[in-house]
Amino acid sequence: MRFIDTNILLYAISRDPAEQDKAKRANGILAERDLALSVQVLQEFYVQATRASRPDTISHRQAVLLIESFRRFPVQDITTGILMAALDTRQRFRLSYWDAAIIEASRALGCTYVLSEDLSDGQDYGGVRVANPFR
Structural domain count, the chain = 1
| Contact assessment for residue 121 and residue 133, using Cβ atoms and an 8 Å cutoff | no
Which CATH number is 102's domain given? 3.40.50.1010
Q: What is the pLDDT along the chain (135 residues), one digit of tens a residue?
A: 999 999 999 999 999 999 999 999 999 999 999 999 999 999 999 999 999 999 999 999 999 999 999 999 999 999 999 999 999 999 999 999 999 999 999 999 999 999 999 999 999 999 999 999 999
| Contact assessment for residue 86 and residue 101, using Cβ atoms and an 8 Å cutoff | yes
Other beta carbons less than 10 A from residue 93's beta carbon: 16
pLDDT at 70: 98
pLDDT at 68: 98
Q: Give the angle 107-101-12 at the CA atoms, nearest 5°.
A: 90
Q: Containing domain of residue 77, as a range?
A: 2-131
